Amino acid sequence: MWVHMKDLACKCPKIQMSKRFLVMGGSEGGMGTGTGPGVGPGGGATSPGGERIGLMADKNSLVIQWRDVWTRRLRKFQRKEKKGKCSKA
């Protein structure tokens, strides 16, 4: 997950490697731009076009710790979508 340095100021939530999280946000082509210093740790994983590969979080993203009770509900939505029963927004 990539986070711009300017969006790290609040330091919340504290994402831990051993925990699972639900991440929601917008998408602009599916990848971040990767321009400028301080974008994510390591700073080396870019595509040939110079874009970051992976998930990009910013101040408008929602990141909350995953709750196991959501798993069953999410699977239900996946089955409905696969059958074409989810309404299109």
In a domain, 88, yes or no: no
In a domain, 48, yes or no: yes
In a domain, 10, yes or no: yes
CB of 5 closer than 8 Å to CB of 57:
no
In a domain, 35, yes or no: yes
What are the phi and psi torsion angles at 78 (to 5°)? -65, -40
Question: By residue range, what is the domain housing residue 6?
Answer: 2-82
In a domain, 7, yes or no: yes
Provide the number of structural domains found in the chain.
Answer: 1
In this prediction the pTM is 0.56
pLDDT tens digits, one per residue of 18-29: 889 888 887 665
In a domain, 70, yes or no: yes
Nearest to residue 34, comparing CAs of 3, 13, 67? 3
In a domain, 87, yes or no: no
What are the phi and psi torsion angles at 76 (to 5°)? -60, -45
pLDDT tens digits, one per residue of 50-85: 666 788 888 888 888 999 999 999 999 999 989 888
> Which neighbouring-strand residues pair with 56?
2
